Amino acid sequence: MGKRKLARAPSTKEKRETKSKWTMWAIIGVLVVVVGALIAMVVLQGGGRAAPAKAAVAQTGQPAPNFTLRLLNGQSVTLSSLKGKAVLVNFWASG
């Protein structure tokens, strides 16, 4: 059998190069995550859909614009039909 050579300890220069490569990849990874988060924010806020031309805009201090929602059982309810009652509106996004 042949003789085995012992592995030598990495030099200071090699350690610095390894650390430098790791740092570079860490920075690239962070940049990818940040850019991805920014793109996700833009897509989610914009929704990729244009608002209907006749949509009323809610304004602070004014009554909410009337709208109609379809319930899970197929019936519809309008906001104006609930006048005088407490209403909690929770919009869920689905696609």
Mean pLDDT of the chain: 81
Structure-model confidence comparison of residues 53 and 77, the more confident one: 77
Tell me the three state secondary structure of residue 20.
helix
Structure-model confidence comparison of residues 13 and 74, the more confident one: 74
DSSP-assigned letter for residue 81: G
Whether residue 31 contacts residue 23, with contact meaning beta carbons closer than 8 Å, is answered with no
Which runs of E-coded beta strand occur in the chain? Answer: 68-70, 76-78
Determine the Cα–Cα distance for residues 15 and 71; give it in Å rounded to an integer.
Answer: 64
Structure-model confidence comparison of residues 18 and 94, the more confident one: 18
Contacts of residue 10, Cβ cutoff 8 Å, sequence gap at least 6: 18
Give the residue from 33, 36, 49 showing the smallest Cα distance to 93.
49
Q: Which tens digits make up the pLDDT trace of 7-44?
A: 777 778 777 788 888 899 999 999 999 999 999 888 88
